[in-house]
Amino acid sequence: MKKILYIDVCGRAESRTRILAQHLLTYLDGEVTCVDLFEEPVYPLNIEAIRQRRDCVECGSCDGQGLNLARQFADADIIVIAAPVWNLSFPSVLAAYCENVVEEGVTIHIDEYGNTTGLCKAKKFYYVTATGTRNMNPVFGFGYLKSLFSQLGVHSAECFSAEALDIPGADVDMILNICKREIDASFRFPAREDNQVEANVSTK
């Protein structure tokens, strides 16, 4: 069974981004592990944390700060990230998560010439985002993750976005449904019922 890693960076219970991500998840077969970055203790790395992580990678018998997140990321078969547009990109906790995920010997190998080889199993990740304003191109957030994850071996990426959700008079349901249809078209077959995936989700 495939391991699907779902990174939830939505925060709000009524998040429109999460609604779209859950629609996408109905298309994916496998065991879904959800990591809620507003609940998970994810912190930026400092020098001491980096040193401890290096020691743990070398001994292979302990976890430095966030090293469990790096190992989990490396072991996933498919990655889904749901993150609303904040300040032209995404919530800062996602940047901290990325710091914790990148680790020599776990998700990436760098040889003596500076060449990188990705060590992750996943070959594709999906990025789902939404914004209340208009023309907020998700290229900043998605583009950064696409470049970074490619270094880790995840070379294929797809982005789904909805915008202008908070403009006065906006038909929110229509906007979300348009994005859902884009997801449907990408997978090229009708979505299953939501409860089929909910029974398959474990939160860690």
Task: With respect to residue 168, please indicate whether it lies within any of the assigned structural domains.
Answer: yes
Structural domain count of the chain: 1
Across the range 185-191, mean pLDDT stands at 77
Helix ranges, the chain (H) = 16-25, 47-59, 67-75, 92-101, 139-151, 172-187, 194-198
Q: How many angstroms separate the CA atoms of 145 and 193, rounded? A: 30
More confident residue, 137 or 188: 188
Q: How many angstroms separate the CA atoms of 35 and 204, rounded? A: 6
| pLDDT band per the 50, 70, 90 thresholds, residue 199 | very low
Q: Exposure string (b/e) for 110-132, b if CB count within 10 Å is 16 or more?
A: eeeeeeeebbbbbeebbbbbbbb
Q: How many angstroms separate the CA atoms of 8 and 58, rounded? A: 30
CATH code assigned at 28: 3.40.50.360
DSSP state of 191: P
Q: Which of 91, 155, 162, 101 shows the shortest CA–CA distance to 130?
A: 162
Task: List all residues 6 or more positions away from 124 whose beta carbon is below 8 Å from its beta carbon.
Answer: 78, 79, 154, 155, 156, 157, 158
pLDDT for 89-135, tens place per residue? 999 999 999 999 999 999 999 999 999 999 999 999 999 999 998 86
Task: With respect to residue 180, please indicate whether it lies within any of the assigned structural domains.
Answer: yes
pTM over 0.75: yes
Q: How many angstroms separate the CA atoms of 63 and 60, rounded? A: 8
Strand 3-8 with 78-82, pairing: parallel
Task: With respect to residue 84, please indicate whether it lies within any of the assigned structural domains.
Answer: yes
- State phi, psi for 188 to the nearest 5 degrees: 65, 20
For the cut 60, the answer to whether the pLDDT of residue 20 exceeds it is: yes
Across the range 13-25, mean pLDDT stands at 97
For the cut 70, the answer to whether the pLDDT of residue 200 exceeds it is: no
More confident residue, 188 or 93: 93
**Average pLDDT of the residues of the chain:** 90
Task: With respect to residue 49, please indicate whether it lies within any of the assigned structural domains.
Answer: yes
pLDDT at 188: 84
Task: With respect to residue 204, please indicate whether it lies within any of the assigned structural domains.
Answer: no
pLDDT at 139: 66
Task: With respect to residue 40, please indicate whether it lies within any of the assigned structural domains.
Answer: yes
Q: Which of 202, 142, 136, 165 shows the shortest CA–CA distance to 19?
A: 165
Task: With respect to residue 101, please indicate whether it lies within any of the assigned structural domains.
Answer: yes
Across the range 6-22, mean pLDDT stands at 96
pLDDT at 24: 98
* Structural domain boundaries enclosing 75: 3-199
Name the token pair of 189.
């077959």
Task: With respect to residue 42, please indicate whether it lies within any of the assigned structural domains.
Answer: yes
pLDDT for 138-168, tens place per residue? 568 999 999 999 999 999 999 999 999 999 9
